[in-house]
Amino acid sequence: MSEVLMKTVVDCATGEVKSVPLTAAEISQRDQDAAAFAAQKAAEEAAAAEKAALKESAKAKLVAGEPLTEEEAAVLVL
Amino acid sequence: MSVRKFSTASILSPSYKNSKIWDGETFPGYFESIATATSTYGAVFTNVDTLPYTHLQIRVMPRDTAATSVTDFCIRFNSDSGSTSYRWHRIIGNGSFSQSDSFNTSFMGCSLIPGSSVTSGIYGVAIIDILDYKSTNKVKVVRTLGGFDANGSGFVGLNSGMWVGSASTQVTQIEVFAGTGQAVANNHFALYGIRTA
């Protein structure tokens, strides 16, 4: 049996508090939110990995006395 | 509060309406608790525009069932789930790195909270300020300070965000929920109101 997701709804006009199951539309929205969040996280992690790789490459070139690319220089300059 | 009305009837037939005398101690509340809820999903506060406050604050202690160490806690207004209805920024750090991000999504991220890979019983905390939420000429903005500590790991974050195109729209409904849409039991949501002087 699948779990029924419940949300707590507080009516600030009446003070009534009730627990109601999520509708199909709300569950669909929840899934879209989760997918959007996962996509954001992936993009964020990819950008962080790219920046870290640029830093490593720039560091190695500096030690070896090789010229840096513009992108590598950009991650080193504050 | 000063004496507003006092008459013979105040003594002979006292009622709260004609005995408005300051007791010398009581002050009207400027920061008041409105409602508290616990939930396995999130909380929805409806008809908030009927409240006599200028600003709102939500204090949360959430945790998510997501199979990860960290996820986001989110907020949405008036059931607006448009894919680009909210813009938000954050600065986060965990003690060994710091990072800043910006997003344009169907919800506003408020704070990082623990997922299921964090030791059970550890919850995140966040204080979410919703400023001038009934204004009809200012875009609605949110500021949050939050994070969690997992005894050796964890995050702290400062988030700010806006509800795009909301200048003339009062906030009537507030939904708060875990980023994956499924929070664990005993998640705590408390709504407070702040009056202007």
Pick the range with the lowest mean pLDDT from B77-91, B108-122, B123-137, B176-190: B176-190
Enumerate the residues of chain A whose CB falls inside 8 A of the CB of residue B42.
7-8
Q: Which helix (H) or strand (E) holds B159?
A: strand B154-163
A39 burial (CB, 10 Å; 0-12 / 13-18 / 19+) is exposed
Tokens 């199909």 belong to which residue? A24
What does each C-alpha distance from A21 to A7, A25, A45, B189 come to in angstroms? 6, 11, 34, 18
Those residues with Cβ within 8 angstroms of residue B189's Cβ, 6 or more apart along the chain or in another chain: A8, B36, B37, B38, B39, B42, B43, B58, B59, B60, B62, B176
pLDDT > 70: percent of chain B: 83
Tell me the ipTM for this assembly.
0.79
Name which of B113, B109, B107 is nearest B89 in CA terms.
B109
Instruction: Test A36 with B83 for CB contact under 8 angstroms.
Output: yes
Instruction: Test A6 with B34 for CB contact under 8 angstroms.
Output: no
For chain A positions 25-44, those within 8 Å of chain B (CB to CB) are 27, 29-34, 36-37, 40, 44
Tell me the average pLDDT across A28-55.
83
**pLDDT in the model for residue B67:** 82
Residue of A nearest to B190 (CA): A10
B63 burial (CB, 10 Å; 0-12 / 13-18 / 19+) is buried
Quote the domain boundaries for residue A68: 6-76
Which runs of consecutive H residues, i.e. helices, occur in chain A? 24-64, 70-76
**Nearest CA to CA, how far is B151 from chain A (Å)?**
24
Q: Does B98 contact A at CB distance below 8 Å?
A: no
Count of A-B CB contacts under 8 Å: 84
Whether B180 has a pLDDT exceeding 70, the answer reads: no
Is A1 part of any domain? Answer: no
**pLDDT in the model for residue B16:** 55
Residue of A nearest to B72 (CA): A37
> How many domains does chain A fold into?
1
For chain B positions 1-40, those within 8 Å of chain A (CB to CB) are 34-35, 37-40
Q: Which of B51, B182, B189 sits opposite A12 (nearest CB)?
A: B51
Q: Does B79 contact A at CB distance below 8 Å?
A: no
More confident residue, B124 or A39: B124
**Nearest CA to CA, how far is A73 from chain B (Å)?**
19
Those residues with Cβ within 8 angstroms of residue B19's Cβ, 6 or more apart along the chain or in another chain: B6, B10
**Distance (Å, whole) CA B71 – CA B68:** 7
**Distance (Å, whole) CA A41 – CA B108:** 14
Structural domain boundaries in chain B: 28-194
**pLDDT in the model for residue B60:** 95
**pLDDT in the model for residue A4:** 72
**pLDDT in the model for residue A1:** 44
Q: Which of B40, B99, B181 sits opposite A6 (nearest CB)?
A: B40
